[in-house]
Amino acid sequence: MGITFVPARSPRRRIRFVERDDGPGWWRIDDEWTGCRWWPVGREPVAEVERMGGSGFDGE
C-alpha cells in the first residue's frame, strides 16, 4: 500500500508500506522519482499500519 505526491519544490515522492520479512511489522519506504525510475531515499520500521476509509483527507 502506498501514496504518491508532488511536493511544491521537489521531485515526485512516494511512501510505501511493505511487510517486513525479517520480523513483525512493516517497512515505511520513502522513494523519489528520478525521471526514469523510483529511487529509495529512506526507510524505517513501523509496528502498525492503519488504513482509513474513503480518501482519508476529509474526515471520512
In a domain, 53, yes or no: no
CA-to-CA distance for 51 and 1, rounded, in angstroms? 9
Query: What pLDDT does 1 receive?
Result: 80
In a domain, 34, yes or no: yes
CA–CA distance from 57 to each of 4, 22, 25, 27, 54 (Å)? Answer: 14, 32, 25, 23, 8
Give pLDDT tens digits for 18-60.
Answer: 999 999 999 999 999 999 999 999 999 999 988 877 665 555 4
CA-to-CA distance for 39 and 22, rounded, in angstroms? 22
In a domain, 13, yes or no: yes
**Confidence band of 14 (pLDDT split at 50, 70, 90):** very high
In a domain, 9, yes or no: yes
CA-to-CA distance for 57 and 52, rounded, in angstroms? 9
49 with 42: CB under 8 angstroms?
A: no
Structural domains in the chain (count):
1
Give the domain range for residue 22: 2-46
In a domain, 21, yes or no: yes
